[in-house]
């Protein structure tokens, strides 16, 4: 939908002063990159077509980094310790001629220009407060302090609200000057006695809070075939041990009927091949360069622990697993009867990733065919978010 709005004097306030604790990046959340731009740049790009003024509340100490991104086109103020304090500080910098204010979380970076335009249309038509909301999918309970349900509100009257939230400027400033406390600006307006209108929100206005939200946002932004997809392969092999008591660990499972293999850590060739494939796909080196055979911390680490640590490292580098395939090569153990268990164990160590496990013998040929040892080959498909 394309709204050809006349230019109304609209100030867009972008609270971006949070640290992004739950996202856990090295920089404040608004500066985290998503498909080639920071989150706050996405938010500004989406809302600037309807804005006559944009004010960003930046985390203290990061003001110049925000200014450098936008130059003169944006006013940067220092944010406060709470979101509403950040909004209040930004309100003090609004142009005197602006009539409407849209408050929009940097964290809802992908909310569309169209959504903002629909909010403004309602304000122009005379509403004082207009906010987007989504129908609530889950049945929602109201509880008391001890965790007991007080009541079950009728879901059809509930909305999960988003931003941008639009207001008549004078009314919003007055609501912020009152000593009310609310978790969003619309809440302050409600307490000040204004009626707040809800219009349809949009999926893409999701609040980016965790790493997996970033991955969802990347999918919204990119057509499937534009995703930055990488592939990696890995192999590992170990000889069966002469020590009859050595336990066999393979694909995250213990195999009591088979003697284990010699080698670094627990010798889980399937897990190690997957780690190598993941590191290769992410261009992060390999098992050895990451965990080192001499590093005592990993000398006796289980395959599952190495998988979990590998997942952590590739996630830190902004990669998400699309799928993993591992093939085990050897005469024993027989994988088929425990295939689902093996898939579940590997997947669990990889944060629920899609894993497939296959197995083969080599017709009596080579060290695996001669029953001297076991090997595994893995491929990993990952995507950057």
What residues line the site for ligand CTP (CB under 6 A)?
A: 15-23, 29-30, 57, 79-83, 86, 105-107, 207, 209
Q: How far is the CB of 209 from Mg ion (least distance, A)?
A: 8
Shortest Cβ contact with Mg ion: which residue?
A: 18
Nearer to ligand CTP, 17 or 218 (CB): 17
* Partner from Mg ion, ligand CTP, none contacting 318, C-beta within 5 to 8 A by type: none
Nearer to ligand CTP, 64 or 360 (CB): 64
Q: How far is the CB of 58 from ligand CTP (least distance, A)?
A: 8
Token couple for 190? 């409600």
Q: How far apart are CA 179 and CA 183, in angstroms?
A: 13
**What are the strands, taking DSSP E only, across the chain?**
10-15, 33-34, 37-38, 53-58, 75-78, 100-103, 129-135, 142-143, 149-151, 159-161, 165-168, 196-200, 229-239, 247-250, 253-259, 319-329, 355-360, 373-384
Q: How far is the CB of 350 from ligand CTP (least distance, A)?
A: 24
* Partner from Mg ion, ligand CTP, none contacting 247, C-beta within 5 to 8 A by type: none
Shortest Cβ contact with ligand CTP: which residue?
A: 18
Nearer to Mg ion, 18 or 28 (CB): 18
Q: How far is the CB of 146 from ligand CTP (least distance, A)?
A: 26
Nearest-CA neighbor of 303 among 241, 243, 332, 345?
Answer: 345
Range 15-74, binding Mg ion (CB under 5 A): 18
Kindly list the distances between the CA atom of residue 248 and the CA atoms of 30, 142, 299, 330, 375, in Å, as whole numbers in the listed order: 47, 51, 16, 13, 13
Assign residue 118 a region (left: φ > 0; alpha: ψ between -120 and 50; beta: otherwise): alpha
Q: How far apart are CA 181 and CA 190, in angstroms?
A: 11
Nearer to ligand CTP, 83 or 272 (CB): 83
* Partner from ligand CTP, Mg ion, none contacting 98, C-beta within 5 to 8 A by type: none
Task: State which H helix or E strand residue 241 sits in.
Answer: none
Nearer to Mg ion, 24 or 288 (CB): 24
Range 3-22, binding Mg ion (CB under 5 A): 18
């Amino acid at each position: 939908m394309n709204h050809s709005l006349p230019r109304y004097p609209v100030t867009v306030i972008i609270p971006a002063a949070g640290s992004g604790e739950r996202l856990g990046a090295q920089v404040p959340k608004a500066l985290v990159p998503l498909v080639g731009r920071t989150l706050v740049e996405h938010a500004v790009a989406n809302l600037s077509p309807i804005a006559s003024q944009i004010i960003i509340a930046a985390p203290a100490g990061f003001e110049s980094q925000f200014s450098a991104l936008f130059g003169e086109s944006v006013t940067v103020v220092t944010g406060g310790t709470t979101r509403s304090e950040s909004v209040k500080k930004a309100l003090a910098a609004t142009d005197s001629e602006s009539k409407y204010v849209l408050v929009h979380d940097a964290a809802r970076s992908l909310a569309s220009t169209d959504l903002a335009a629909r909010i403004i249309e309602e304000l122009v038509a005379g509403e004082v407060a207009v906010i987007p909301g989504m129908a609530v999918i889950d049945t929602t309970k109201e509880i008391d302090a001890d965790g007991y349900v007080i009541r079950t509100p009728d879901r059809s009257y509930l909305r999960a609200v988003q931003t941008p939230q639009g207001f008549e400027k004078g009314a919003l400033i007055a609501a912020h000057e009152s000593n009310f406390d609310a978790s969003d600006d619309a809440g302050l307006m409600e307490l000040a006695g204004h009626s707040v209108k809800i219009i349809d929100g949009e999926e893409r206005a999701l609040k980016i809070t965790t790493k997996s939200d970033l991955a969802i946002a990347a999918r919204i932004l990119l057509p499937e075939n534009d995703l930055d997809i990488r592939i990696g392969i890995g192999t590992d092999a170990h000889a069966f041990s002469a020590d009859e008591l050595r336990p066999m660990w393979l694909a995250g499972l213990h195999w009591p009927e088979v003697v284990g293999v010699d080698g670094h850590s627990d010798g889980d060739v399937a897990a190690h091949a997957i780690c190598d494939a993941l590191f290769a796909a992410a261009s992060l080196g390999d098992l050895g360069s990451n965990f080192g055979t001499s590093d005592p911390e990993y000398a006796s680490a289980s395959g599952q622990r190495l998988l979990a640590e590998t997942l952590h490292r590739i996630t830190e580098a902004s990669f998400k697993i699309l799928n993993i395939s591992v093939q085990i090569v050897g005469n024993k153990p027989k994988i088929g009867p425990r295939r689902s268990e093996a898939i579940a164990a590997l997947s669990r160590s990889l944060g629920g990733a899609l894993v497939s496990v296959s197995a083969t013998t080599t017709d009596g040929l080579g060290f695996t065919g001669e029953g001297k040892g076991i090997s595994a080959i893995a491929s990993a498909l990952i995507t950057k978010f």
